[in-house]
Amino acid sequence: MKKFLFIFALGLSFSLNSHALTIDLVPAASQISAGNTVQIDAKISGLKTSGATSLGVYDVNVNFDSSRFAFNSINWGDSVKGNQLDLNHFGSLQISDSSNSGWINLFELSFDDVWSLENLQANSFILFSLVFSSIAPGTGVFHLDANALGDAYGNNLALTSTTDARVTVKAASVPEPATNMLMLIGLIALGLARVKPSDK
């Protein structure tokens, strides 16, 4: 009996883990120089593509260190797979709010029909990409909180986990003059010092 329960629990564990819904924040670069920009992708994984769980709506907050980064712009959807909440190109309702410093709220509602979302939507794709400018040296953390996720029918989807993104901003380096240039300037100065004005 114990062996049966162990096998059942193990199978249930694999079943639950195989459909774990996650959203990872993925930076385009882990290190940038001060003054440069960085893109952070929000990638959802764990959806199934044939007649099962799909994403029809989401409402999330992305928190960031406003002392090191300034928010620039949003790119909705996946640059390679296209917007997976706009499969039929009817558009989707997209709302963003960055009025408060240090966080951005993003909401998107698909206008696609249930069949398209459940049968055509990829099981893993980028929801949106955020572009930030770096304004001060140091390491900043980007964190996502899900307010709500819904499937094609509007039923609640449980998010299993999220992954933060970390980006280090390096101080801008001051270029040093080349040794040959310094030597040339020194020789010119020495030559000028030896030239004596002619007496009239």
Q: Using CA atoms, how far apart are residues 89 and 83, in angstroms rounded to an integer?
A: 9
Query: 9 in a domain, yes or no?
Result: no
CATH number of the domain that residue 136 is part of: 2.60.40.680
Query: 64 in a domain, yes or no?
Result: yes
Question: pTM of the entire structure?
Answer: 0.76
pLDDT recorded at residue 189 = 66
pLDDT of the chain along its 200 residues, tens only?
Answer: 444 333 333 333 333 344 589 999 999 999 999 999 999 999 999 997 554 589 999 999 999 999 999 999 999 999 999 999 999 999 999 999 999 899 999 999 999 999 999 999 999 999 999 999 999 999 999 999 999 999 999 999 999 999 999 999 998 665 555 566 666 666 676 666 666 555 55
Contacts (Cβ under 8 Å, ≥6 apart) of 51 = 118, 119
Domain count within the chain = 1
Query: 198 in a domain, yes or no?
Result: no
Q: Domain containing 88: what range?
A: 19-192
DSSP letters spanning 106-140: EEEEE-S-HHHHHHHS-SEEEEEEEEEEE-SSEEE
Q: Using CA atoms, how far apart are residues 76 and 146, in angstroms rounded to an integer?
A: 17
5 burial via Cβ count (<10 Å: 0-12, 13-18, 19+): exposed
Query: 200 in a domain, yes or no?
Result: no
Query: 109 in a domain, yes or no?
Result: yes
Q: Using CA atoms, how far apart are residues 200 and 196, in angstroms rounded to an integer?
A: 12
The answer to whether the beta carbons of residues 148 and 58 sit under 8 Å apart is yes
